[in-house]
Structure 1
């Protein structure tokens, strides 16, 4: 078992992936919040590969470090689709990145960046509607899109909203 854990940690370090312990309670909370979301399960926001470049990392407290969403591969110019019905709450540039925020009701709000859009606040969108295109700017690496989701102002891991719960996968480490 220790060899497998060391192998996973070595592989993650080699890939530049952060190592984070996630409690079973945190996964259950995210899954419970996701299944209560309007329109659950949500549609994936683009048709390309679902490769997560930077996973969700919950902060220890409201102002602590973390990654309050996921960064997924999405080449510049990729069409971005509304994951669930809602109303555009914000569309514009914040600091150096274009972003779009959708209020899905029942306290669920999603944000996509960098996403350039011609929609304006108050526009109604349905699940699957094109809401914009992946652009450049912001903290997410070029060719990726950041997806953040809040429920009543608290960020949660977006994966369970899409019917996907990230799980650890044990891979063979070494041969003797």
Structure 2
């Protein structure tokens, strides 16, 4: 019988360290993202088709937002109070950008695309106000979706961080058995 050599090595503790900062990498955000959202932009809770994947460099590959499943014509709602800073078409797709009130200096901005805008630049919004409807055209999803983005100045952030934890929860709470603990008598 042959003994495995690695079985006799002492246990090692590994620490996962972040990669070293690169000169062309975007600076890390200095202000935390406040959980100011009151609801999801397209229903509660939608299926996240693709999550946020921050790029390693300013122009590197990544996914600068989240894709939420939503059929064409679905109303898109402002997740928090703010002011519309852009409403129009970019590269053939409808885009709405909203500067969120009370989120620091510079303030946070959410983006929604592809949408058929129903608001104009300068419009003041309350949480839940409709900014447009999901368009069937464009996008990079395999199914119709809403791309929801978040920026502070030029730095992309995870838009899901705007949601309070109770809005991120998917489904009812479940109690699971605790194995190996004796039952009370």
Q: Same fold (TM over 0.5)?
A: yes
Tell which deviates more after alignment, 95-104 or 130-139. 130-139
Tell me the CA shift for residue 50 of structure 1.
1.8
Paired with 1:73 and 1:114, the residues of 2 have a C-alpha distance of: 12
Tell me the CA shift for residue 162 of structure 1.
1.1
Paired with 1:78 and 1:118, the residues of 2 have a C-alpha distance of: 13
- 1:118 and 2:118 aligned: yes
Paired with 2:108 and 2:116, the residues of 1 have a C-alpha distance of: 21
1:16 aligns to what?
none
More helix by share: 1
Tell which deviates more after alignment, 131-140 or 91-100. 131-140
1:33 aligns to what?
32
Paired with 1:109 and 1:33, the residues of 2 have a C-alpha distance of: 14
How many residues align structurally?
137
Q: SS of 2:161's equivalent?
A: helix
CA RMSD across the alignment: 2.5
- 1:151 and 2:145 aligned: no
C-alpha contact (below 8 Å) 2:37/2:127 kept by paired residues:
no
TM-score normalised to structure 2 length: 0.66
Taking a change above 3 Å as real, the CA distance of residues 91 and 147 of structure 1, as seen in their structure-2 partners, is same
Q: SS of 2:140's equivalent?
A: coil
Structure 1, gaps ≥5 residues long: 1-20, 24-28, 168-176
Larger Rg belongs to: 2
C-alpha contact (below 8 Å) 1:48/1:74 kept by paired residues:
no
2:140 aligns to what?
140
